[in-house]
Amino acid sequence: ADADAVHTKMADEAVCIGPAASADSYLRTDRILEAIEQTGAEAVHPGYGFLSENSEFSNMLAERNIKFIGPGAFAINAMGDKIHSKKIASDAKVNTIPGYVGEINNEEELLKVANEIGYPVMIKASAGGGGKGMRIAWSDEEAKQGYRLSKREAAASFGDDTIFVEKFVEDPRHIEIQVLMDSFGNGVYLNERECSIQRRNQKVIEEAPSVAVDPETRKAMGKQALQLAAAVEYQSAGTVEFLMDKHKNFYFLEMNTRLQVEHPITELISQVDLVEQMIRVAAGLPLEMKQNDIGIHGWAIESRVYAEDPYREFLPSTGLLTRYKEPGGADVRVDSGVAEGSEISMFYDPMISKLVTHGPNREAALESMRGALDS
């Protein structure tokens, strides 16, 4: 499905690892290992999805003396389970959302915990991500229904129907801290991104920095993010996600042990190439920067551009991209995997590009974004 894609054509070498369906190609570790052997690759960057947070794949590479450009298996496993990660965060003195740190086994137990915490509550899949397996409940009846739906969705999406419950933070802002750690115990946080504009619990527009985070809160969030990273012996780039209420109280949500889709806005305001730093860390090199070297240079905004049908509740729209023209300019960055004539496949995510603008302040970045989207 992507034999003629932009990234394939840009590559010096390209290897077919199977048919279009990801279950038969990008998720087949055996075929990726064959491609590594065939090309003589010394390292693998896993990207955003597929095997990027798969500890078994990381271990397979280590056994073959191939570098996984990302954190170690211990960190991936520790942060991969939401119940376990919350316990680790609490032990690392990271603020956590009030709730029951353990598995909910039945509806009776759910109602007991929910009433102890107080409604509204958030019912979550422990193995969840991407907004799947999550339900808000404002009453016992909604809690029971949410439990059944979340459990069913979690089993179908992740093969794991473990459920937990925590207090729902009303009117929250989704703030995430980018961290970078090496193998020598050095670490920095590269300030925050705000990802509050979401649809179906999936990010649509992100910006950096956040209008709601003041220097004192930023420092406190950064400190806790580094504490958590150190607790799991993290090496590479990673993101610690928080929910922040209107009083600037913030709570740990999860840690993504990979490069984030929205990493370009952090690169623009920090002037740090995150992928380059991931490669350097994987190569065993120390970070060349200290926390005092990390500043905030202007403002950046990212809009995710999707191939979707607005007349069908924004379901993915597949087919040929008959017309496609990217905006340009010194303050515009487009990370894209398509070109005019590309096929939008049913097998992969319908996001076709990330449109990013940068300016000396938020108003300038927004004005550039408006112009770029309309061009």
pLDDT tens per residue across span 114-146:
999 999 999 999 887 767 899 999 999 999 999
Output 131 or 332, whichever has higher pLDDT.
Answer: 332
Tell me what pLDDT residue 1 has: 74
Percentage, residues of the chain above pLDDT 90: 85
Average pLDDT over residues 56-78: 97
Helix 215-231 and helix 82-91: axis angle, to 10°?
Answer: 110
Distance of alpha carbon 126 from the chain centroid: 16
First to last CA, the chain: 29
Tell me what pLDDT residue 82 has: 86
Average pLDDT, the chain: 94
Structure tokens at 211: 């209008």
Residue 228: pLDDT over 80: yes
Residues recognised as catalytic: 258
Q: Among 124-138, 145-159, 311-325, which is the least confidently predicted range?
A: 124-138
Tell me what pLDDT residue 263 has: 98
Tell me what pLDDT residue 199 has: 87
Confidence of residue 349 (pLDDT cuts 50, 70, 90): confident
Q: Among 179-188, 237-246, 344-353, which is the least confidently predicted range?
A: 344-353
Average pLDDT over residues 27-39: 96
Confidence of residue 3 (pLDDT cuts 50, 70, 90): confident
Tell me what pLDDT residue 37 has: 96
Q: Cβ(308)–Cβ(350) under 8 Å?
A: yes
Output 302 or 133, whichever has higher pLDDT.
Answer: 302
Confidence of residue 96 (pLDDT cuts 50, 70, 90): very high
**Widest pairwise Cα distance in the chain:** 59
The pTM is what?
0.88
19 Cβ neighbours under 8 A, 6+ residues apart: 25
Confidence of residue 92 (pLDDT cuts 50, 70, 90): very high
Q: Cβ(145)–Cβ(153) under 8 Å?
A: no
Tell me what pLDDT residue 127 has: 85
Tell me what pLDDT residue 329 has: 93
Q: Among 85-94, 149-158, 210-219, which is the least confidently predicted range?
A: 149-158
